[in-house]
Structure 1
Amino acid sequence: MQGERRKATFTIPETAKLLGISRAHAYELVKIGKIPAIRLGAKRLIIPVEAIERLLSAY
């Protein structure tokens, strides 16, 4: 479709669903640096789509 843009980031719940893991596990992987995340404000975390693509292509 014309004008449709690719999503640039995922939320933690979206990332967890995509990877087939729990939200808690996704938060833990962000905490230990296995999944790179961008913190927006005090509570909001977003995951760049490119980071997930790189993570998955490594396997």
Structure 2
Amino acid sequence: MTDSTVKFEPLTLSVEEAHPMVPMGKRQFREAVHRGEIPSVKLGTKIRIPRKKFLAMLEGEEL
């Protein structure tokens, strides 16, 4: 039997994880999220960025 490792990638990113991927500051990133320019979901008091939609947006893809 072999030991296989499954790579886990979370479905969502925090603002802190996502904002370094774009050339803007954290405050500007949060403002873009609140304006709806960056896809997001609110889970309780936390704002999460859907990984797949965010990466597609960065690559210029339409969903």
Common fold, TM-score beyond 0.5? Answer: yes
Taking structure 2 as the reference length, the TM-score comes to 0.76
The ranges of structure 1 where at least 4 consecutive aligned residues each deviate by more than 6 angstroms after the TM superposition are: none
2:38 aligned counterpart, secondary structure: coil
1:47 aligned counterpart, secondary structure: strand
Percent pairwise identity: 21
Taking structure 1 as the reference length, the TM-score comes to 0.80
Which residue of structure 2 aligns with residue 48 of structure 1? Answer: 50
Larger-gyration structure (1/2):
2
- Deviation of 1:16 after TM superposition, in Å, equals 0.9
Aligned length: 58
Q: Is it true that 1:4 corresponds to 2:7 in the alignment?
A: yes
Which residue of structure 1 aligns with residue 28 of structure 2? Answer: 25
